[in-house]
């Protein structure tokens, strides 16, 4: 059965602070109310892929008119004005082969017409967000001296899952041992990811509205002890993890404004804001280079900060934040998500719209490789395992192609020396039944590799996972029907099986069944060895679960 995908990658709530678009010569007229509505829809649905200033990233450039010169001097022109309202209405309603999804089932005809007119007008420029703005937004709800000095509950904190309830703007803390929802807390709008303190005591979560929430797991019930705004749109956070600096700092990456911010790791007091505006790897100025994934190095006092639009990877040395040192590494444009290789020396990040994976060597501070992949790699944090024929590999799936690519990664471990010849090559492509993969996952104690495909337009694919046997990758993968196993009734809205997370011991895999905004969803837990259903975690409050972050695995970067 074929069913259309609902608005993929719906975006941030920054529209509140926005005015209407400025009228563009030749563009259809709009009333002030229409402009305000267009701004809201744009930021909720479009900005994540196309950018606030509409210069394009994963999605196409949506400026009213653009002109560009390629490297051979050839000039081309285009833009929304050229396409006009009727054509744009069709694109918005039905999507494109290039990966744009259809909106005819989430926007009304009037809203589609409004958006077709809105994007022919000049883009809004949202306000900047300074260190002072951050300070003004900062709430230290429970100062350090008033927090517990020891764990006040009996929960096995290492096996707690911080679970995003996307559309309710909440985080569910689920006890991984009993599989009971321990507590649900309010967080930012369409909360995106959670990362753990190096100690495993605190959870830091970031919403698409730029709100960072710090949750203390030592209270009897998880308690929000501080919050702060990074700007009006953000996606990433991480702590400082290097020995001697554990949890001293938190860094947050902004989509708008394009900047990263350094905060005190214990209180979230803002300390420094660094803009990422500047030149791209092609030598052109970009006004909106958004901060995508950020990860803390274990071997140096550094964060790896991946800047989407410039294609530059920044190694930010936090040992002296007043005299901040940044190493800027050129890679490829539109950096997105990524993860460590198994030695945690190399960080591999998808340059998704360039169809490449960039690998940075955090020991030497240099680009180690730029690996060509299939269309739109999307690894999440990727998956590391020892391939029977090619040695250590890191896996990524693709949004735009039906394969999981395995990239050979280097190591100093002599027992893998014979695999050196394969390093930084795609050594195998595992076939998937279709494109639309978002996440792959394995665990050092597992012999399975799990892959989802929630963005595949076929209902049968979006609702399932495929599991590969790492010991024998020639075997066809096993199909796991997450929607069926959930036992939940079929709903009007598409239910996507998205994001896998292992428990601490690597014996269970948790998958979200992400249903409609008003439908009860579930987390479906499987025994990793037998691939049999173990438990369905559901509750009337289980609305739109997406990412899940096991405290221990996230703290130690195990994937
Ligand atoms: Fe994500 C990670 C950006 C849409 C679920 N997502 C990330 C990261 C970035 C990012 C930059 C890496 C953070 C890091 O490691 O520091 N995501 C974006 C977008 O720009 C995009 C395409 C559109 C948007 O407007 O946000 C987008 N993401 C989605 C979704 O629609 C998903 C599927 C559901 C949801 O919750 O919104 C989604 N993204 C996730 C998850 C991770 C993530 C679960 C963390 C994966 C992990 O295992 O670490």
State the pLDDT confidence band at 4, using cuts at 50, 70 and 90: very low
Judged against a pLDDT cut of 90, whether residue 111 lies above it is answered with: yes
Residue from 517, 547, 556 whose mutation best tests the ligand 1 pocket (most atoms within 8 A of CB): 547
CATH, range 8-118? 1.10.760.10
The tokens of 438 are what? Answer: 């978002």
Residue nearest to atom 28 of ligand 1 (CA): 9
CA of 169 to the centre of ligand 1 (A): 15
Ligand 1 atom closest to the Cα of residue 47 is: 25
| pLDDT tens column, 180-207 | 999 999 998 889 999 999 999 999 999 9
Q: What is the pLDDT of residue 10?
A: 37
Mean pLDDT calculated for residue range 443-470: 96
Ligand 1 atom closest to the Cα of residue 548 is: 44
CA of 70 to the centre of ligand 1 (A): 31
Judged against a pLDDT cut of 90, whether residue 286 lies above it is answered with: yes
CA of 544 to the centre of ligand 1 (A): 14
% residues pLDDT > 70 (the chain): 96
Burial class (CB in 10 A: 0-12, 13-18, 19+), 23: middle
Q: What is the pLDDT of residue 87?
A: 96
| pLDDT tens column, 9-20 | 333 345 444 444
Residue nearest to atom 16 of ligand 1 (CA): 293
Ligand 1 atom closest to the Cα of residue 308 is: 11
In the chain, what are the domain boundaries? 8-118, 436-546
Residue nearest to atom 41 of ligand 1 (CA): 547
Q: Greater confidence, 7 or 479?
A: 479
Residue nearest to atom 37 of ligand 1 (CA): 192
Residues in the chain: 559
222 cis-preceded (ω within 30 degrees of 0): no
CA of 417 to the centre of ligand 1 (A): 35
CA of 547 to the centre of ligand 1 (A): 8
Lowest mean pLDDT, pick from 89-103, 261-275, 383-397, 422-436: 89-103
Judged against a pLDDT cut of 90, whether residue 494 lies above it is answered with: no
pTM comes to 0.93
- Which residues, judged by CB distance below 6 Å to any ligand atom, belong to the binding site of ligand 1? 9, 11, 48-49, 164, 166, 190, 192-193, 208, 235-236, 292-294, 336-337, 380-381, 438, 498-499, 546-547
CA of 400 to the centre of ligand 1 (A): 16
CA of 423 to the centre of ligand 1 (A): 28
Sheet bearing 403-408, strands edge to edge: 377-387, 391-398, 403-408, 426-431
CA of 382 to the centre of ligand 1 (A): 13
State the pLDDT confidence band at 522, using cuts at 50, 70 and 90: very high
Ligand 1 atom closest to the Cα of residue 380 is: 46
Residues ≥6 apart with Cβ < 8 Å to 30 = 20, 21, 23, 38, 114, 117, 118, 121
Ligand 1 atom closest to the Cα of residue 441 is: 48
Q: Is 353 helix (H, G, I), strand (E, B) or coil?
A: helix
Distance CA 398, CA 436 (A): 7
Q: What is the pLDDT of residue 484?
A: 98
Residue nearest to atom 3 of ligand 1 (CA): 235
Residue from 14, 58, 166, 192 whose mutation best tests the ligand 1 pocket (most atoms within 8 A of CB): 192
Sheet bearing 160-165, strands edge to edge: 181-186, 170-175, 160-165, 545-550
% residues pLDDT > 90 (the chain): 87
Q: What would the 3-class secondary structure string for 361-384 be? A: ECCCCEEEEEEECCCCEEEEEEEE
Ligand 1 atom closest to the Cα of residue 339 is: 15
Residue nearest to atom 15 of ligand 1 (CA): 293
Distance CA 27, CA 204 (A): 43
Lowest mean pLDDT, pick from 9-13, 124-128, 140-144, 199-203: 9-13
> Which residue numbers are catalytic?
46, 49-50, 100, 336, 378
Q: Which residues pair with 254 in a beta bridge?
A: 234
Distance CA 551, CA 158 (A): 5
Judged against a pLDDT cut of 70, whether residue 29 lies above it is answered with: yes
Ligand 1 atom closest to the Cα of residue 336 is: 11
Residue nearest to atom 11 of ligand 1 (CA): 292
Residue from 161, 193, 380 whose mutation best tests the ligand 1 pocket (most atoms within 8 A of CB): 193
| Phi/psi at 371 (5° precision) | -105, 130
């Amino acid at each position: 059965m074929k069913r259309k995908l609902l608005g993929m990658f719906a975006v941030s709530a920054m529209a509140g602070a926005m005015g209407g678009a400025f009228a563009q010569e030749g563009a259809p007229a709009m009333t002030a109310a229409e402009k305000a509505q267009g701004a809201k829809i744009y930021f909720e649905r479009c900005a994540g892929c196309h950018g606030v200033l509409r210069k394009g990233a994963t999605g196409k450039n949506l400026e009213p008119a653009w002109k560009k010169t390629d490297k051979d001097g050839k000039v081309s022109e285009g833009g929304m004005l050229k396409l006009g309202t009727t054509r744009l209405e069709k694109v918005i309603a039905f999507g494109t082969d290039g990966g744009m999804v259809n909106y005819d089932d989430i926007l009304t005809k009037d809203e589609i017409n409004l958006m077709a007119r809105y994007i022919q007008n000049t883009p809004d420029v949202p306000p900047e967000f300074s260190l002072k703005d951050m300070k003004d937004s900062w709430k230290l709800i429970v100062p350090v001296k008033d927090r517990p000095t020891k764990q006040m509950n009996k929960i096995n904190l290492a096996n707690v899952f911080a679970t995003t309830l996307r559309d309710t703007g909440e985080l569910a803390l689920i006890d991984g041992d009993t599989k009971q929802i321990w507590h649900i807390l309010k967080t930012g709008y369409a909360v995106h990811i959670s990362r753990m303190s190096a100690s495993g005591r605190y959870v830091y979560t970031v919403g698409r509205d730029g709100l960072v929430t710090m949750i203390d797991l030592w209270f009897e019930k998880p308690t929000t002890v501080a919050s702060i705004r990074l700007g009006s749109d953000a996606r990433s956070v991480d702590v400082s993890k290097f020995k001697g600096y554990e949890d001293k700092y938190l860094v947050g990456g902004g989509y708008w404004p394009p900047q990263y911010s350094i905060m005190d790791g214990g209180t979230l007091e803002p300390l420094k804001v660094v803009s990422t505006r500047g030149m791209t790897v092609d030598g052109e100025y970009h006004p909106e280079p958004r901060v995508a994934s950020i990860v803390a190095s274990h071997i140096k006092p550094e964060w790896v900060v991946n800047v989407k639009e410039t294609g530059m990877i920044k190694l930010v040395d936090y040992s002296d934040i007043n005299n901040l040192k940044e190493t800027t590494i050129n890679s490829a444009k539109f950096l997105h998500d990524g993860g460590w290789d198994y030695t945690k020396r190399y960080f591999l990040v998808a340059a998704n719209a360039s169809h490449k994976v960039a690998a940075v060597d955090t020991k030497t501070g240099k680009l180690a490789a730029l690996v060509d992949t299939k269309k739109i790699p999307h690894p999440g944090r990727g998956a590391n395992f020892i391939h029977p024929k090619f040695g250590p590999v890191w896996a990524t799936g693709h949004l735009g192609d039906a394969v999981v690519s395995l990239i050979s990664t280097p190591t100093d471990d002599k027992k893998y020396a014979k695999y050196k010849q394969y390093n930084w090559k795609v050594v195998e492509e595992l076939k998937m039944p279709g494109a639309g993969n978002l996440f792959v996952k394995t665990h050092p104690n597992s012999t399975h590799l799990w892959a989802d495909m929630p963005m595949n337009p076929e209902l049968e694919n979006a609702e399932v996972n495929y599991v590969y046997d790492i010991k024998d990758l020639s075997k066809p993968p096993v199909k796991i029907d997450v929607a069926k196993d959930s036992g939940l009734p079929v709903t009007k809205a598409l239910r996507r099986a998205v994001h896998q997370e292992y428990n601490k011991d690597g014996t269970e895999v948790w998958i979200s069944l992400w249903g409609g905004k008003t439908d009860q969803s579930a987390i479906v837990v499987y025994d990793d060895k037998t691939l049999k259903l173990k438990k369905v975690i559901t509750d009337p409050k289980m609305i739109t679960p997406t990412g899940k972050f096991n405290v221990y695995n996230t703290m130690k970067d195990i994937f």
